[in-house]
């Protein structure tokens, strides 16, 4: 629940963050850098800041120790001006002091980084999981309209950008400001206001140039990211459709398509690196001119005898030490500007409101019998093209209701509305008298099992995919579900058994085996309501008959809604609804509908002719063999 609240917080402020650059972004991320529920991380932030201040004090002391060592070697050390015990006044001792200060500075800097690492990565982890959870809360419509490859690329860059912003703002930007203040103080104490003016003008010119050049590079960077996302999307799309590419011999076509996207990425990348080189060169020129000015001023004072050679060394070291964080400051600005480009796309996703949300105070669905009722349900994916027009029917508890009809009639839309992936534009859907729009989505979906037409499995083991039906189920329960789905024998025939991987989207399994896995995990879920969405339409007639017996077993005693393409699978249904152009054109039992000689009767006659032709082909031995592929069966035992 906390994650949901925080994601809402991010979504509400994402537009503001995108408008305000670093300040607004850090403000947005501050609850993650300074988490209210993590006192240990707050302590780390406090200690990291303390080490940062200590490190900068040592940093400004290093040039002074080197100055004193230089003057000692040259015999020009003014002992009265050195606030140190006289035992340290020797050239060797001062040289050792210089080395010790450098070591201590390095240790405090690394200690600061080590302490803050846990803070930064905790922020990245918490934001990553919130984005992941938010994506699962978004509607089916959002995911159908997005390309998965591009989406994962956006999230990957966004996650890296968050780490960049958190680390650079706290570990580079703030320390650099502190160091500049110390340098100004040192220049006023050891030199005069002219040096301060020269250094300040140098820093202003440096940062102004960096800002202008970086803003110029932003458009180039954005184009590079877009071309990178496009190339990644095309690569993933092609690999996911590997078999289709092979079917059509389109390897060269896919390579050319990918190369075209990569060529654009190449051009944008070259422009990015060229612009970066121009930026670095300009920064070096500006700072070097400022360095020359202060060194010439100091040389004049050394020749006049008002400053020692050590003072010349001091001002040079102070300028060089300022250059390093100042150069980082330029990098920080570049990185943060680029990170904001990357993170704004992720913020845009977080700003997407879920199309379907639980109503305030929504209660869990209480299933007593499992009766389903549609009352005058209307729906359209696009307002100009209605899909369902006043659909009403009852699925009494324990009964099987079949929905048939031509493609595009709205059959699968009924299952999506029942799962509440979409809301009806009119009417309502009830389960045991409860409006599903007023109950929690989690309790609703827990009460419904689905065996879809196209079963997509996780790229994991058979055990994992079956157990997905009920998290934490025992291995005995998994095996029982597999036995009921008539796939246990096949699994045990594999060298790896239940630990055999199924491959990407389950491609190592045949269509029938994937359906049996889907049936097994639905049996393991044991829902009171079952939806079979054209569960056998993608199978050959022989495999269909085998799967049908498993489906009958899983639907026994449950309220079952069968969305069917093949009418032979629904002849025993308690009631058959014929959906045509978004309305229920006919309803009744199989025999009643045949006797009417209407749409259903015509569909039945056509399908009988097709089935007869397929049977002739099968008997002739020319029907395609849709049995199990050898991928899993040939896997070696561990």
Is residue 72 in a domain?
yes
Structural domain includes residue 513: no
> Which residues have CB under 8 Å from 291's CB, separation 6+?
202, 316, 319, 320, 323
Distance (Å, rounded) from C-alpha 526 to C-alpha 521? 9
Residue 324 C-alpha from the chain's centroid: 35
Which segments of the chain have a pLDDT < 70?
Answer: 1-26, 74-91, 139-151, 153, 169-170, 328-331, 334, 504-507, 535-547, 611, 614-615, 617-638
What's the token pair of residue 94? 């001062």
Q: Write the pLDDT tens digit of every residue in 40-99.
A: 888 888 888 888 888 888 888 888 877 777 777 766 555 444 454 444 456 677 778 878
Same-domain check for residues 341 and 377? no
pLDDT value, residue 543? 62
* CATH number assigned to the domain comprising residue 593: 3.40.50.300
CB-CB contact of 347 with 411 (8 Å): no
The secondary structure element, H or E, covering residue 94 is helix 91-137
- State whether 119 and 14 are in the same domain: yes
Do 275 and 415 fall into the same domain? no
CA distance 140 to 379: 15
Domain match, 304 and 395 both? no
Rounded distance between C-alpha atoms, residue 466 and residue 479, angstroms = 9
Q: Decide: helix, strand or coil at residue 485.
A: coil
pLDDT at 430: 93
In a domain, 578, yes or no: yes
Assess whether 334 and 424 both reside in one domain.
no
Looking at the structure, tell me whether residues 56 and 154 fall in a common domain. yes
pLDDT for position 146:
62
> Distance between CA 580 and CA 389 in Å, rounded?
10
SS3 448: strand
Q: What is the 3-state secondary structure (H, E, C) of 486-514?
A: CCHHHHHCCCCHHHCECCHHHCCCCHHHH
Has residue 108 been placed in a domain? yes
Q: How far is CA 264 from CA 86, 226, 229, 278, 345, in A?
A: 67, 10, 11, 21, 20
> For residue 378, what are the β-bridge partners?
426
Same domain, 210 and 75: yes
Confirm whether 461 is domain-assigned.
no
Q: How many domains does the chain have?
A: 2
Location of structure tokens 């606030």:
83
**φ/ψ (deg, to 5) at 534:** 50, 50
For the stretch 134-185, pLDDT in tens is: 777 776 666 666 655 566 767 777 778 777 777 776 677 777 778 778 878 8
217 plus 331 within the same structural domain: yes
Q: If we measure between CA atoms, which residue out of 20, 4, 28, 223 comes closest to residue 132?
A: 4
Q: Could you tell me if residue 522 is inside a domain?
A: no
Domain-embedded: residue 270: yes
Instruction: Tell me how many degrees the CA angle 470-476-482 measures, rounded to the nearest 5.
Output: 70
| Cα gap 456→453, rounded to integer Å | 9
- 516 within domain boundaries: no
User: What confidence score (pLDDT) does residue 576 get?
Assistant: 92
Do both 175 and 324 map to the same domain? yes
pTM of the entire predicted model: 0.62
**CATH number of the domain that residue 160 is part of:** 1.20.1560.10
> Using one digit for the tens of pLDDT, what is the confidence trace for 183-209?
788 788 878 888 888 888 988 898 888
Question: What integer pLDDT is reported at residue 429 of this predicted model?
Answer: 92
Q: Do 327 and 438 have their domain in common?
A: no
Print the domain residue range for 133: 2-350
């Amino acid at each position: 629940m906390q994650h949901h609240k925080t994601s809402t917080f991010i979504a509400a402020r994402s537009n503001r963050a995108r408008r305000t650059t670093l300040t607004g972004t850090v403000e947005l991320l501050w609850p993650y850098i300074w988490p209210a529920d993590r006192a240990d991380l707050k302590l780390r932030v406090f200690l990291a800041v303390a080490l940062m201040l200590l490190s900068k004090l040592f940093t400004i002391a290093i040039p002074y120790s080197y100055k004193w060592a230089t003057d000692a070697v040259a015999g020009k050390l003014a002992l009265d001006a050195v606030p140190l015990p006289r035992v340290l006044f020797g050239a060797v001792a001062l040289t050792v002091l210089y080395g010790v200060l450098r070591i201590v500075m390095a240790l405090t800097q690394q200690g600061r980084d080590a302490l803050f690492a846990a803070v930064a990565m905790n922020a990245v982890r918490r934001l990553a999981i919130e984005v992941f959870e938010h994506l699962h809360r978004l509607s089916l419509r959002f995911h159908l309209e997005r390309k998965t490859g591009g989406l994962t690329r956006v999230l990957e860059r966004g996650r890296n950008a968050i780490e960049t912003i958190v680390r650079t703002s706290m570990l580079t930007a703030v320390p650099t400001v502190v160091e500049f203040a110390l340098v100004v103080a040192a220049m006023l104490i050891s030199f005069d206001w002219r040096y301060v003016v020269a250094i300040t003008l140098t820093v202003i010119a440096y940062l102004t140039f960096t800002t202008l050049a970086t803003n110029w590079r932003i458009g180039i960077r954005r184009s590079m990211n877009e071309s990178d996302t496009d190339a990644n999307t095309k690569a993933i799309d092609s690999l996911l459709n590997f078999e289709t590419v092979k079917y059509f011999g389109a390897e060269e076509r896919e390579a050319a398509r990918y190369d075209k996207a990569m060529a654009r990425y190449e051009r944008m990348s070259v422009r990015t690196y060229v612009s970066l080189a121009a930026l670095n060169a300009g920064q070096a020129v500006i700072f070097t001119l400022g360095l020359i000015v202060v060194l010439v001023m100091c040389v004049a004072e050394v020749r006049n005898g008002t400053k020692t050679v050590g003072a010349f060394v001091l001002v040079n070291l102070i300028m060089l030490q300022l250059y390093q964080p100042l150069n980082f400051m330029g990098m920080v600005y570049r990185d943060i500007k680029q990170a904001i480009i990357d993170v704004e796309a992720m913020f845009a996703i977080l700003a997407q409101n879920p199309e379907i949300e639980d109503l305030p105070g929504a209660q869990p669905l209480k299933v007593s019998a499992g009766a389903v009722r549609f009352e005058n349900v209307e729906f359209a994916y696009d307002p100009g093209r209605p899909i369902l027009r006043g659909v009403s029917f009852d699925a009494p508890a324990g009964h099987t209701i079949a929905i048939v009809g031509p493609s595009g009639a709205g059959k699968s839309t009924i299952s999506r509305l029942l799962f509440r992936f979409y809301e009806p534009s009119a009417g309502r859907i009830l389960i045991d008298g409860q409006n599903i729009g007023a109950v929690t989505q989690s309790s609703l979906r827990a009460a419904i099992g689905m065996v879809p037409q196209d079963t997509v499995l996780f790229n994991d083991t058979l055990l994992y995919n079956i157990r997905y039906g009920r998290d934490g189920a025992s291995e005995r329960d998994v095996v029982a579900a597999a036995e009921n789905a008539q796939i246990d024998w096949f699994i045990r025939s594999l060298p790896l058994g239940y630990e055999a991987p199924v491959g990407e989207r389950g491609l190592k399994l045949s269509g029938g085996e994937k359906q049996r896995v889907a049936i097994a995990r639905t049996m393991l879920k044991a829902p009171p309501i079952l939806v079979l969405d054209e569960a056998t339409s993608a199978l050959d007639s022989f495999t269909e008959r085998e799967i049908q017996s498993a489906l009958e077993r899983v639907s026994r005693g449950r309220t079952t809604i069968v969305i069917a393409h093949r009418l032979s699978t629904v002849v025993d249904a308690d009631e058959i609804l014929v959906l045509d152009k978004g309305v229920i054109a006919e309803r009744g039992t199989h025999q009643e509908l045949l006797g009417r000689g209407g749409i259903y009767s015509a569909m039945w006659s056509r399908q009988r002719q097709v089935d007869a032709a397929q049977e002739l082909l099968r008997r002739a031995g020319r029907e395609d063999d849709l049995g199990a592929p050898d991928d899993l069966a040939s896997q070696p035992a561990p």
